[in-house]
């Protein structure tokens, strides 16, 4: 006999991948937990943990937008999330540990996206498609940012935590240069020092993403990927209409 539960799991996590949702080190196969497995007590416990962490994450995001990360206290978070301090400390050491785990989830998922889409990127580069064709990694990454726009807007906004931007730049550096066989650009072929090129690309991309989030994401992820490709591949002079290809 099977029991069916009508829980809405569509918004349980900032990491969503088909049947899986995850927070921190917790990764739950929701369909297995709900439709079968180790019993209803374990199912309800897992879902309570997920919902508690979602409430804590949402409280953190709201408070960052209101008063900035540096001014936030654990009491602020627990009050906003409507939980007691013991519940918070059962999952996180302090607000910095909470932030670190949120950042790790974002970086983990973006790394997965980059690795998954790298073969497609190589196909695009080796094809006869227009040079400003959207980067498959950029499209998927922007789709992920779009799904987690509230969190990303808070983190990349003026009141966010600066370490997140630093980690995002490090991620772009690794994706562009230092991911072994999956490296986007071979450093030995560069015409300018790699550290400057990576800093330029990372800062430019983050700046464009910040503006996109700030403007309410009026363009689709595909349109934004096309805009980034036009500026990155063909250069600013071409993008500004000052010269043809």
Give tens-digit pLDDT for 96-148.
999 999 988 988 898 888 888 777 766 666 666 555 567 788 899 999 999 99
**Residue spans per domain, the chain:** 15-89, 100-239
For residue 134, what pLDDT is reported?
Answer: 74
- pTM for this prediction: 0.69
Tokens at 136, concatenated: 């498959």
Percent of the chain with pLDDT over 90: 36
Does 100-239 carry CATH code 1.10.357?
yes
12-27 pLDDT, tens digit per residue, is 344 334 333 443 333 3
Q: Is the CATH number of domain 15-89 1.10.10.60?
A: yes
| 85 or 41, which is more confident | 85
Contact 34, 28 (CB under 8 A): no
Q: Judging by beta carbons within 10 Å of its beta carbon (0-12, 13-18, 19+), is residue 182 exposed, middle or buried?
A: middle
Q: Which pLDDT score is estimated for 60?
A: 96
Is pLDDT of 31 > 70?
A: no
């Amino acid at each position: 006999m099977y029991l069916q539960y009508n829980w809405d799991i569509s918004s349980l996590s900032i990491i969503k991948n088909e049947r899986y949702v995850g927070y921190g080190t917790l990764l739950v196969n929701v369909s297995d937990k709900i439709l079968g497995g180790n019993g209803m007590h374990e199912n309800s416990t897992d879902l309570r943990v997920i919902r508690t962490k979602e409430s804590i994450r949402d409280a953190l995001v709201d408070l960052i937008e209101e008063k900035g990360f540096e001014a936030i206290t654990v009491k602020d978070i627990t009050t906003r999330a409507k939980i007691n301090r013991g519940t918070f400390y059962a999952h996180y050491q302090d607000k910095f540990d909470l932030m670190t785990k949120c950042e790790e989830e974002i970086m983990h998922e973006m790394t997965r996206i980059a690795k998954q889409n790298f073969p497609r990127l190589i196909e695009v580069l080796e094809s006869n498609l227009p040079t400003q064709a959207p980067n498959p990694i950029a499209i998927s990454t922007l789709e992920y940012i779009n799904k987690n726009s509230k969190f990303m807007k808070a983190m990349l906004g003026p009141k966010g935590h600066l370490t997140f931007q630093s980690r995002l730049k490090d991620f772009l550096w690794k994706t562009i240069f230092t991911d072994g066989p999956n490296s986007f650009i071979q450093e030995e072929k560069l015409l300018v020092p790699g550290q400057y090129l990576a800093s330029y690309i990372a800062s430019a991309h983050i700046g464009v993403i910040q503006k996109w989030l700030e403007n309410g994401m009026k363009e689709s992820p595909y349109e934004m990927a096309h805009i980034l490709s036009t500026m990155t591949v063909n250069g600013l002079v071409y993008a500004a209409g000052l010269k043809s290809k």
